[in-house]
Amino acid sequence: MTTTRTQVCIIGGGPSGLLLSQILHRAGIDTLVLERQSRAYVLGRIRAGVLEGGTMQMLRDAGVGARMDTEGFLHDGTYVATRNRGFRVDFDALIGRQVMVYGQTEVTKDLYAARDAMDGRIVDEAADVAIQDAAGTPHVTYRRDGTEHRVDCDWIAGCDGFHGLSRQTIPADVLRTVERVYPFGWLGVLSRTAPAAPELIYANHDRGFALASMRNESLSRYYIQAPVDDPLEKWTDDAFWDELRRRLPSDVADAMETGPTIEKSLAPLRSFVAEPMRWNRLFLVGDAAHIVPPTGAKGLNLAVSDVHYLSDALIRHYGGDDEGIDSYSERALARVWKATRFSWWFTTLMHRFPEDGAFGQRMKQAEIDYLESSRAAQTVMAENYVGLPF
Ligand code: RFL
Ligand code: PHB
């Protein structure tokens, strides 16, 4: 058994764990990150693509915004469609704000590079990570290459995602959870093709939802609503492209470039919130505490807003003020609930549910028509989509 000490032991080397470690290290607070997977595995995950203004600023302030600012794409708006016809919601004209299209894979790569440049301590392939005595003298144990290790610390940050162990450590009589599992999934593909349109297209259709997104001028990301238990073999490239074209606006579908897909996966959709987000010396951060369906592009952005509140709390703590620690859960959750509502609303509006029937689908079309015609409705959507203030 080896023993080491750190001020904040961070479990999980995804975007929330890495960003927290980067911000704390720059503020002179020592951290150690324990990640279960290999670095190649973490960097191979293809996930989020849209960053809110607050997320961009957090990355810049943490010294990891340079490549995002040169290689990312600022979008002034997005398209919303129904019945194969779309219209534009112009965030910039409505509220003077934009979003950044820059993949989570790239954010993670930039964070690892910055941590390495500062000699940040990150242990990959850490097995059997266990949280010990979070209500007393906190420490974390793990195994690597057959050796047992122990990390003594002041605080533990559970940044270990939805399937992590941190949330399970909180006693059942303390933790409250709410959950909604949606009756469909998202089938996503990545392809080396030019994006179908200059901005994202969120499409409602009788056959189900579709999303046209992108990573850069020659890399496209598309999703369609699909039964979550569909075997992936059923979705040949041709079947995917045919179904996507049926659901997008006709002018876009007719002109869209297609080609071999380089990644294909089917993800379930859920809304989930766990409260409180702090238990004694353990904090929950990001997906470890909450999950939103991807329709509102909020998951990664919420993880970053949790990091905003927690880094602020810990920096103040080491300066002698515990107010941020005591209010972390409440401050983080206030924003989480609003983003959960927006993600649920946009998911419900844009997808086909088994219980919708003809009436339900007509109501969704009518709401999207109203959105097209109402500046007030578009403003509500825009301020939620670009991100509520911290
Ligand atoms: P992560 O990224 O899941 O990282 C958690 C890390 O913890 C590790 N881990 C452990 N380590 C040690 N011991 C254990 N016992 C451990 N258990 C787990 C894991 O290996 C992992 O490395 O959580 P984090 O950092 O909170 O970040 C959250 C985001 O990744 C997530 O919210 C987004 O990807 C969600 N999301 C989107 N968010 C957006 O803001 N905009 C989007 O456009 C967007 N699109 C998406 C998405 C998620 C998707 N999927 C597949 C879930 C699109 C999709 C398809
Ligand atoms: C993506 O590009 O992966 C993406 C974009 C917007 C979303 C979800 C995912 O709402």
- CATH homologous superfamily, domain 2-73+99-178+270-346: FAD/NAD(P)-binding domain (3.50.50.60)
Strands 99-101 and 73-75 come out as antiparallel
Helix (H, G, I), strand (E, B) or coil at 357: helix
Asked whether 294 lines ligand 2 (CB < 6 A), one says: yes
pLDDT number for residue 47: 87
Tokens linked to 59: 């990355």
Mean pLDDT of the chain: 97
pLDDT digit string (tens) for 210-231? Answer: 999 999 999 999 999 999 999 9
Q: How far is the CA of 62 from the centre of ligand 1 (A)?
A: 20
Tokens linked to 132: 């010990």
Asked whether 295 lines ligand 2 (CB < 6 A), one says: yes
Q: Give, for 34, the enclosing helix (H) or strand (E).
A: strand 31-34
- List the 176-191 sheet strands across, edge first: 85-90, 77-82, 201-204, 210-216, 219-226, 176-191, 261-275, 290-291
Question: pLDDT-based confidence at 390, cuts 50/70/90?
Answer: very high
Question: Which ligand 1 atom sits closest to the C-alpha of 188?
Answer: 55
pLDDT digit string (tens) for 163-195? Answer: 999 999 999 999 999 999 999 999 999 999 999
d(CA 338, CA 333): 9
Residue 203 has pLDDT above 90, yes or no: yes
Question: pLDDT-based confidence at 46, cuts 50/70/90?
Answer: confident
d(CA 231, CA 126): 32
| 123 bridge partner residues | 34
pLDDT digit string (tens) for 268-290? Answer: 999 999 999 999 999 999 999 99
d(CA 107, CA 248): 29
pLDDT digit string (tens) for 47-75? Answer: 889 999 999 999 999 999 999 999 999 99
Taking CA atoms only, the protein residue closest to ligand 1 atom 37 is 48
Nearest ligand, measured from the Cα of 123: 1
Asked whether 300 lines ligand 2 (CB < 6 A), one says: no
User: Hey, what amino acid is at 111?
Assistant: L
- CATH homologous superfamily, domain 182-268+351-386: D-Amino Acid Oxidase, subunit A, domain 2 (3.30.9.10)
Taking CA atoms only, the protein residue closest to ligand 2 atom 7 is 297
Q: What residue ranges do the domains of the chain occupy?
A: 2-73+99-178+270-346, 182-268+351-386
Helix (H, G, I), strand (E, B) or coil at 18: helix
Those residues with Cβ within 8 angstroms of residue 276's Cβ, 6 or more apart along the chain or in another chain: 174, 175, 329, 333
Asked whether 343 lines ligand 2 (CB < 6 A), one says: no
Four-CA torsion 324, 328, 334, 340, nearest 10 degrees: 150
pLDDT number for residue 326: 98
Asked whether 213 lines ligand 2 (CB < 6 A), one says: yes
Report the predicted TM-score, pTM, of the whole model to 2 decimal places. Answer: 0.97
Q: How far is the CA of 297 from the centre of ligand 2 (A)?
A: 6
Cα of first residue to Cα of last residue in the chain, in angstroms, is 42
Tokens linked to 317: 């703590």
d(CA 297, CA 49): 8
Q: How far is the CA of 83 from the centre of ligand 1 (A)?
A: 33
Q: How far is the CA of 288 from the centre of ligand 1 (A)?
A: 9
d(CA 40, CA 252): 36
Strands 77-82 and 201-204 come out as parallel
Asked whether 49 lines ligand 2 (CB < 6 A), one says: yes
Binding-site residues, ligand 1, Cβ < 6 A: 11-17, 34-37, 42, 47-50, 104, 126, 129, 159-161, 164-165, 186, 188, 267, 286-287, 294, 297-301, 303
Question: Which ligand 2 atom sits closest to the C-alpha of 188?
Answer: 3
Region of 131 please: left (phi>0), alpha (psi -120 to 50) or beta. Answer: beta
Residue 302 has pLDDT above 90, yes or no: yes
